[in-house]
């Protein structure tokens, strides 16, 4: 697997945000990542006033500004463009079945202020439809399944929603498959490992709606098996009050955990399930559990996609592609700048596949 062992080291504060969870014990874990002892880190937080101060630092770290002073050259050396090295990726995939896994926000659609308006372009939808004609394709997202399906509008895909906790299959042989949860997307439920948490998620959603309504710009989104608290439109001065409100609510729900994405706080059940687990489940469902003849390509832009990148690295299969125009610590092997480059890359894959079908010796 190309470039699998190359990493770039970012400032330590950026490496510890993978498990941002409320409570002193969890914050102590973050302290160990930062190089502090358990007791010293707790003491440091106490001296600074409250755990929420550390939260805010991490929130800023997860939302880097696009400064021209960032040294991109060394990062790009270790995480080159998937478009520029397209032939290298194709060579690695030679003789194997390509399977696509794609995040939605920031990958297939642009990041926008209002998450309800994160529409993909018609061009992207057409390209995605062509990709699905040639390769098994799954959307892996933190969004709820119904919402992301309404954005994508393609029934031939797999949908691993709510960070992989709500996995649905495509229609079979062009006919509708009855779902077991009465949704209107004509999908077959494949896996829902967090079903028992639904009442708790709904309860916390209602509480957070009430608690955050006084914070201008804050938006709480119910993704069915997880919740998102968006702070993209919140003034930075209000980040601390918002984080404190969320923390106080979750203190009463120890079976829920908090992680962070791009200007969003994610609330999920404490089960050991993430986008990486969803990727492995889908590969197994497709018959590739122990196969060396598969080449998974996972494209995503968010910190939650790193779980999938790590799985590919551990398996020594396929490639992870990070969508980012700024350096980030990542387990991905390649990069794309933005959704327009994602579309370009996918279109080249379609053209390559069509060409290889006409000229099999070129595949």
Catalytic residues: 103
| CA 114 to chain CA mean position, Å | 18
- Token pair of 71, please? 């040294």
Strand order in the sheet with 219-222: 219-222, 227-230, 264-269, 256-261
Q: How far apart are CA 161 and CA 149, in angstroms?
A: 9
| Ramachandran category for residue 73: left, alpha or beta (phi over 0 → left; psi -120 to 50 → alpha) | alpha
Q: How far apart are CA 50 and CA 331, in angstroms?
A: 32
Buried b (16+ CB within 10 A) or exposed e, 259-287: bbbbbbbbbbbeeebbbbbbbbbbbebbe
Three-state secondary structure of 122-136: HHHHHHHHHHHHHCC
Residue 68: exposure state from Cβ atoms within 10 A (0-12, 13-18, ≥19): exposed
Place of tokens 């327009």: 340
Residue 341: count other Cβ atoms within 10 Å of its Cβ.
Answer: 17
Q: How far apart are CA 359 and CA 350, in angstroms?
A: 14
DSSP state, residue 164: T
- Beta pairing partners, 227: 222, 267
Residue 298: exposure state from Cβ atoms within 10 A (0-12, 13-18, ≥19): buried
| Whether the Cβ atoms of residue 59 and residue 16 lie closer than 8 Å to each other | no
| Whether the Cβ atoms of residue 162 and residue 135 lie closer than 8 Å to each other | no
């Amino acid at each position: 697997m190309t470039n699998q062992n190359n990493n770039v080291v970012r400032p330590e504060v950026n490496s510890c945000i993978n498990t941002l969870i409320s409570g002193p014990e969890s914050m102590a874990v973050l302290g160990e990542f930062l190089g502090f002892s358990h007791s010293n880190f707790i003491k440091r937080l106490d001296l600074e006033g409250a755990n929420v101060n550390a939260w805010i630092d991490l929130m800023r770290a997860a939302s880097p500004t696009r400064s021209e002073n960032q040294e991109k050259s060394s990062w790009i050396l270790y995480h080159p463009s998937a478009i520029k090295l397209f032939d290298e990726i194709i060579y690695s995939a030679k003789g194997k079945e390509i399977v696509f896994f794609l995040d939605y926000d920031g990958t297939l659609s642009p990041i926008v202020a209002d998450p309800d308006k994160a529409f993909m372009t018609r061009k992207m939808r057409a390209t995605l439809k062509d990709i699905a004609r040639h390769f098994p394709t799954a959307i892996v997202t933190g969004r709820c399944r119904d919402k992301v399906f309404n954005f994508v509008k393609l029934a031939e895909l797999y949908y691993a929603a709510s960070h992989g906790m709500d996995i649905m299959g495509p229609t079979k042989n062009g006919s509708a498959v009855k779902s077991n949860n009465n949704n209107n997307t004509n999908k077959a439920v494949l896996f829902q490992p967090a079903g028992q948490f639904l009442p708790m998620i709904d309860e916390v959603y209602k509480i957070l709606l009430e608690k955050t309504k006084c914070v201008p710009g804050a938006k709480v989104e119910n993704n069915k098996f997880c919740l998102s608290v968006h702070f993209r439109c919140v003034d930075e001065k209000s980040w601390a009050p918002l984080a404190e409100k969320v923390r106080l609510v979750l203190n009463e729900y120890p079976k829920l955990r908090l992680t962070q994405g791009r200007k969003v706080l994610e609330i999920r059940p404490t089960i050991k399930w993430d986008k990486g687990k969803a990727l492995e489940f889908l590969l197994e469902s497709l018959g590739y559990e122990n196969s060396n003849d598969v080449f998974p390509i996972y494209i995503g832009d968010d910190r939650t996609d790193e779980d999938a990148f790590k799985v590919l690295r551990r398996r020594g299969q396929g490639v992870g592609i990070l969508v980012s125009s700024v350096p980030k610590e990542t387990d991905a092997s390649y990069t794309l700048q933005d959704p327009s480059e994602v579309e370009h890359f996918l279109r080249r894959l379609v053209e390559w596949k069509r060409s290889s079908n006409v000229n099999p010796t070129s595949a």
